[in-house]
Structure 1
């Protein structure tokens, strides 16, 4: 069965609670362009060979780009991550692949593949013959993640504040302002992505890809809401957090080492 060709039928599994999430467009079906094997045009090259005598064949329609299965899985994965951050997928609840696939308009396969990725990240756990349970995360675990992020990122940012030129920091202004707009929209999923993008850009100045990857993974895990319902941080908290980004960037551009130290400590303390 092609991905997204039809909605999967019921599987007979116990009913589970599903949460609304953004629809992922069904996978487009590949179609050929009517070209013969070996034609140079298949590779996108132009040739000047003689054209055989006889009536010219009618032009073939242009080939439509093929949407790969990995692309559908990636879209589903991002939609599931957004649903986790927003609290639409609630901690402790079990969700089945077929039910979520029907919600997204795709088959259960890319949903299960995306859920397996989330299981590796620690966001969900497999429930045999039922689906996936969203992991319940307590306040202590979130505080531990915030502490690890501070231990990892604060020394790096303080070092970078002394070595990175002001013009390099100024390039991050659009990302800092994007976090303010995202916070004002009151959409946690939008803010979560903008928040991580800004932090990734700051840490990227260190030139250490492993640092950026590990810090981003910790940051994503720290954004998942705790057990007991939606995240406690509301719109006002997100807006205050976003304005700390712009204030920190101002201090970095001005070369204000003491200001950077105070803002970094406040920013990571507020994430606990």
Structure 2
């Protein structure tokens, strides 16, 4: 049977469609580079502010505006505000509407309470590890302990604060408990804030604190749990 005119037209149209070139898809939109750059700047500003707080460059009780800090660090005010909001969430600074941010120094009671909570979390964790880890595992932390001694020897409070957190963070990571690590580090950051009406620790105090890290590792490696518990508690509470 001969195809009808309609069937012939449909066949011709179908052939033309199959032969037609497939149009190229438009390229996917490229995410603007400003987004990662902005987060990178904010992270750098946050790190710089933490160092300034640890070193005493930003003093407890003093108020700082975002524009003034932005000028100091050579950035716009936006990443400074974002970094300061992060510190406000951690309780390290206070937001003052239309004025800026005030560094929230601890009272001696605040410091003692933070130390007590840290000890209640970290000392039992260290003792549990001491009963299960082989002695050689403690040597993995030796470079971190030595980094605190190096920073303390030159009196670099900002470097010491970072190295100190690193030692305690990696120590607690041996437990495998991510939540414990996160909570303990948050408390540790708060404990590193200056105490009101108390001078910042000098080189001798930093060095004494740093040497407690190496002494603790020595006791843990030797399996001396009594000494390890005493050292860990004294290190965290200062008692």
TM-score range, shorter chain: 0.7 to 0.9
Do 1:90 and 1:229's aligned partners in 2 also have CA atoms closer than 8 Å? no
Correspondence 1:207 to 2:165: no
SS across alignment from 1:126: strand
Do 1:177 and 1:246's aligned partners in 2 also have CA atoms closer than 8 Å? yes
SS across alignment from 2:101: strand
Q: Which residue of 2 aligns with 1:241?
A: 209
Which string of whole-angstrom CA distances, capped at 9 and with x for unpartnered residues, describes residues 155-200 of structure 1?
1111111111122211111111111001112011100010010011
Correspondence 1:255 to 2:223: yes
Q: Structure 2 length as normaliser, TM-score? A: 0.83
Do 1:86 and 1:230's aligned partners in 2 also have CA atoms closer than 8 Å? no
- Point out where structure 2 has 5 or more consecutive residues left out of the alignment: 1-25
Q: Which residue of 2 aligns with 1:156?
A: 125
Q: Structure 1 length as normaliser, TM-score? A: 0.73
Q: 1:123 aligns with which of 81, 92, 98?
A: 92
Q: By how many angstroms is 1:91 displaced?
A: 1.3
Do 1:87 and 1:229's aligned partners in 2 also have CA atoms closer than 8 Å? no
Structure 1 Cα separation of the partners of residues 34 and 75 of structure 2: 18
- Aligned CA RMSD, in angstroms, stands at 2.0
Q: By how many angstroms is 1:38 displaced?
A: 5.1
Q: By how many angstroms is 1:94 displaced?
A: 1.0
Q: Which residue of 2 aligns with 1:216?
A: 185
Which string of whole-angstrom CA distances, capped at 9 and with x for unpartnered residues, describes residues 95-121 of structure 1?
111110011000000000000101100
Correspondence 1:102 to 2:61: no
SS across alignment from 1:69: helix
Do 1:87 and 1:230's aligned partners in 2 also have CA atoms closer than 8 Å? no
Structure 2 Cα separation of the partners of residues 269 and 140 of structure 1: 12
SS across alignment from 1:137: coil
Correspondence 1:144 to 2:142: no
Aligned length: 211
Per residue, is there more helix in 1 or in 2? 2
Q: By how many angstroms is 1:229 displaced?
A: 6.3
Rg larger for: 2
Do 2:105 and 2:193's aligned partners in 1 also have CA atoms closer than 8 Å? no
Which string of whole-angstrom CA distances, capped at 9 and with x for unpartnered residues, describes residues 58-90 of structure 1?
xxxxxx999610010000001111111111111
Q: Which residue of 2 aligns with 1:60?
A: none
Do 2:153 and 2:203's aligned partners in 1 also have CA atoms closer than 8 Å? yes
Structure 1 Cα separation of the partners of residues 84 and 237 of structure 2: 31
Q: Which residue of 2 aligns with 1:27?
A: none
Q: 1:171 aligns with which of 137, 140, 148?
A: 140
Do 2:112 and 2:237's aligned partners in 1 also have CA atoms closer than 8 Å? no
SS across alignment from 1:171: helix
Q: 2:165 aligns with which of 196, 199, 216?
A: 196
Structure 1 Cα separation of the partners of residues 167 and 126 of structure 2: 13
